[in-house]
Amino acid sequence: MSHRQRRGTRRRAGFTLIELLVVIAIIAILAAILFPVFARAREKARQNTCLNNQRQIAIAIQMYTQDNQEKFFPNNGQSWANYLTPYNGPGIYDCPTLTGEGQNANPEYGFNPNLFKKPLGMVATPSSALLTADLKKSYFNSATNTNFTLSVDGVNAEATTIDPRHNASFIATAVDGSVHAVPLTGQTAPDYLAALNKASLSLSAAYDPNAAKIPFALNNPASPTGVIVDRAAGFTSGTFAQTSTFRGFVNGTNYFSPDYRISWPLVDNIAVAANNISLIYINTNDSLNQFVCKITNIKPPVVLSKLRVYTSPGYWVGWSDAIGGFSGNDSGGVARQWPYKIIVQSSPTTGGALTTHNTFPAGWTSPASGKWFEYAVSTPPAEDIVITMTQDINPYITGQVIKGMVHNIGEIEFFGVKAQ
């Protein structure tokens, strides 16, 4: 009997095009899900290697200080890791996440420059004083960083030399040898200073997270002529002063009286003169407006770790070239609020050259009422501390009616710890 198959009933071997496309799509979806996981796992392994490298470096630095009168190595303008050649091999200076090969002469980790030549005993809190951290590749032996050191810029993240190359975090060690994986705070606007403070780490060589407010007093309560750092708090000297470069004039007359600015030192509600005003105006008339607070000749030196400023908005004021004077509150013109910035500087010795440690936006957003603004700062031990509040831009435009916000500064508080 003949077995003839009906036409169309024979089945061919293999997959259809649709089946193949479905399988490919499933594989693509799984790859998209798993590959980032694998990448993070691989980077985590590299991070662990980097963590172990910096732990070994911290041990080598401790060995160096023990052999050199309990002092850190000096700054010779070259790689800091050259001093550690007798204590470890060059392989621990190589981060596996980066290409290239790190070694003593070219470490891929940075060192805290505030520790150069410092006696170990001057580090008040070794668990909080930053020792090393991941260094950005662009700062390997660059013209501005020949000694492979760390720095943090409070405004420009690109100027910060720390590198968050491990899953948006960086490895850091402290003077006590502890190792930290520090997640970067703020991915769209990286805030390295906030990340370090959250981890209780600081570039300050004698940082104390429990720093207290620096107290002030009148120099002569019976007949005061100035403000000093309170001697009852254990300070042997220290003077507070404030200056300004306001330029507010109407018909040749100074619109802001310098007597009032000086008569109200913005610390601890102390008034020197009889005109006991409670606020200082910061005008936004032009970019030369600055308000400067200084603590000079403070002994023992202080490591500043926090700054608090009490501010509130004053009023809008307009200047018109057409009438040669102020056009009144809320009258025409271009209504703008000009951005302010705060600059923190210090000198290790009285009258010495000032070094800028922090520059960051003030963040004053015209609160409806008075408000405290707090800033994390970082200075090495200093006898002179200078805080400058100024504008980021010049708002004055010739020929137009310009309106700027006049801010009131009510009080400033300094928080720190004695360096010795």
* CATH number of the domain residue 379 falls in: 2.60.120
Residues 151 and 229 in one domain: no
Q: Is residue 357 part of a domain?
A: yes
pLDDT confidence of 209, banded at 50, 70, 90? low
pTM over 0.75, yes/no: no
Domain span at 86:
24-198
Under DSSP, is residue 268 helix (H, G, I), strand (E, B) or coil? Answer: coil
Q: Residue 377: pLDDT band by 50, 70, 90 thresholds? A: confident
Q: What is the spatial distance between Cα 265 and Cα 267, in angstroms, rounded to a whole number?
A: 6
Residues 35 and 180 both lie in one domain: yes
Could you tell me if residue 150 is inside a domain?
yes
| Contact yes or no for 81/73 (Cβ under 8 A) | no
Statement to judge: residues 128 and 263 lie in one domain: no
Rounded Cα–Cα distance for residues 105 and 133 (Å): 16
Whether residue 14 is contained in a domain is answered as no
Mean pLDDT for the stretch of residues 308-320: 61
316 or 370: which leads in pLDDT: 370
| 153 and 264 fall within a common domain | no
- The pLDDT tens digits of the residues spanning 131-153 come to 999 999 888 876 667 788 887 76
- 390: which 2 tokens? 């100024």
Q: Residue 182 and residue 180: Cα distance in Å, rounded?
A: 6
Using CB atoms within 10 A of its CB, is residue 389 exposed (0-12), middle (13-18) or buried (19+)? Answer: buried
User: Per the domain annotation, does 12 fall within a domain?
Assistant: no
Looking at 168, 198, 228, the residue that finishes a domain is 198
Looking at 198, 223, 247, the residue that finishes a domain is: 198
Give dist(CA 119, CA 71) in Å, integer. Answer: 4
Look at residue 15 and tell me if it is in a domain: no
Q: How many domains does the chain have?
A: 2
Domain boundary among the residues 198, 224, 259 is at 198
Structure tokens at 418: 């004695």
Beta strands 402-418 and 334-335, pairing class: parallel
Is 161 inside a domain boundary?
A: yes
Same domain, 216 and 181: no
Q: In whole angstroms, how far apart are CA 152 and each of 106, 175, 177, 279, 357? A: 21, 18, 21, 32, 8
Strand partners for 386: 294, 345
User: Residue 117 pLDDT more than 80?
Assistant: yes
Q: Is residue 109 part of a domain?
A: yes
